A and B are shown apart, each in its own frame.
Chain A
Amino acid sequence: MKFLCVECDRQMVFEERELPGDGTLAAAFKCPNCGRVVAMLTNPMETQLVQSLGVKIGGRTLDQAPMETVRGMVATGREDAFADQAPRATTPAPKWSGDAEARLARVPNFVRGMVKKIYADYARERGIAEITPAVMDTARAELGLEGM
């Protein structure tokens, strides 16, 4: 899938992605010549299909986690199916605010360990000392964590 600015006859380049809600995935592309921006919006079924392929529009920002599609998409997984080993971190783990912990607790245990690691890695790489719901929202949009 590519976008062409017909007026300039130039291939448009990926700008950013957003998850505005309702299962919509928005990917914005910009013409490098005239600066015009267009957004492609997928319906929930199309968003799901992209997720099912295990690919990220705009490119991957995270290494693929083990069984990330299974863990992220299976709705009937057992709570104790996975035991996540602690990562070999070289810097201290970020703290979790109470609100962020409460939000994390709402994630099914089947995938919680993986989600927690993603947010912790995101915070660690950016020198964020405390993970809050706002940090989670930013990470979710930036990293393209549909459904997490």
Chain B
Amino acid sequence: MPLNIRTYHDLTEPDRSGLAEQIGAQRRRVAERLAGVGRVIAVMSGKGGVGKSYVTAHLARALARAGRAVGVLDADLNGPTAARLLEAPPQPMQVGEDGVEPALAHGVKLVSMALLLEDGKPLAFRGPEAESWVWRGTLEAAALREFLGDVRWGALDLLLVDLPPGMQRFLELAELLAAPPAVLTVTIPTPESSDAVRRALAAARERGAALLGVVENMAGGAFPGDAGEVLAREFGIPLLARIPFNPPSQSWDDLRSALPVRRSGS
């Protein structure tokens, strides 16, 4: 005789675990922490090696020079470089009951796994090695959530999130925020890069993200192509800057001026 078992949702008595509520509390923690942030901008590309972190760091410094309150969250947990690019001093992060104080470099607030890991060691987690693929992605998403929600970001005009290649971290970020982040896309001039970045832009647009524009990095040098222009035209977004090799600081100031941003509270 078959058992007449009710569904999960039929069981409505109070549940002491409240796992859904715990997840909800995590999201609220992120939202409350970012309440003072004017805009979250994901710096992304579908391709590795195009200079996302380089652009992020120099754009952040240009914004800070212009008097903007800016933070950088290095979401490349496995290959973090923002701390070095921002010349963040190696010092312990201060932990209080209400959060972790971000590092400060060139007027830019920063959190990066590079500030936390032993020199030369990869990001490794405690836990059973067998079937680590099951939980590793979840742990990385948790680290991203804590970088967003547990750092005392304070009032910022902009929080730049330096994403690793691919789209996975962008999707995690979009899940954690109340609304998808704005997207600043970095490419190099080559057709291969435009192929990869096109997919990422399409995915970000499908997710509802505002596409701020394209930065073509390493322009005018050894790499052939015009990926920046091609992508800007295809997606109807501005080509914000073409950054040459060894760019003068004016390049970053120009990019900062072209970026459609506003001060917090305005």
* A contacts, CB < 8 Å to B: 1-2, 4, 6, 9, 11, 13-14, 23, 44-45, 48-49, 51-60, 64, 66-70, 72-85, 87-88, 110, 113-114, 147
Contacts and interface: CB of A to CB of B under 8 A. Distances in A.
B127 interface: yes
Contact of A147 (B16, B126, B147, B150): B126
Given A11-B11, A82-B93, A45 B6 contact: no
B97 interface: yes
A60 B26 CA distance: 12
Contacts of A6: 3, 5
Contacts of A87: 97
B121 A83 contact: no
Contact of A53 (B3, B5, B138): B138
A23 B96 CA distance: 30
B94 A85 contact: yes
Contacts of B97: 66, 85, 87-88
A67 B5 contact: no
A112 to B, nearest CB: 12
Nearest to A113: B95
Those 4 A-B pairs whose CB atoms lie nearest each other, nearest first: A83-B92, A52-B138, A76-B121, A44-B128
Interface of B: 3, 5-6, 8, 11-13, 15-19, 22-23, 25-26, 29, 92-100, 115-119, 121-128, 130-131, 134-135, 138-139, 142-143, 145-147, 150
Output the residue of B15, B16, B93, B116 with the most chain A CB within 10 A: B116
Contacts of A83: 92-95
Given A57-B17, A74-B123, A67 B146 contact: yes
A78 B22 contact: no
Contacts of B100: 66-67, 82
Contacts of B18: 59
A60 B95 CA distance: 21
A82 B99 CA distance: 12
Contact of B135 (A13, A52, A59): A52
Contacts of A81: 92-93, 115-117
Nearest to B4: A9
A4 B4 CA distance: 11
Contact of B117 (A49, A58, A60, A76): A76
A13 B118 CA distance: 44
Contacts of B25: 64
Given A52-B138, A75-B124, A147-B126, A66 B117 contact: no
A9 B131 CA distance: 36
A52 B47 CA distance: 28
A58 B92 CA distance: 34
B96 A85 contact: yes
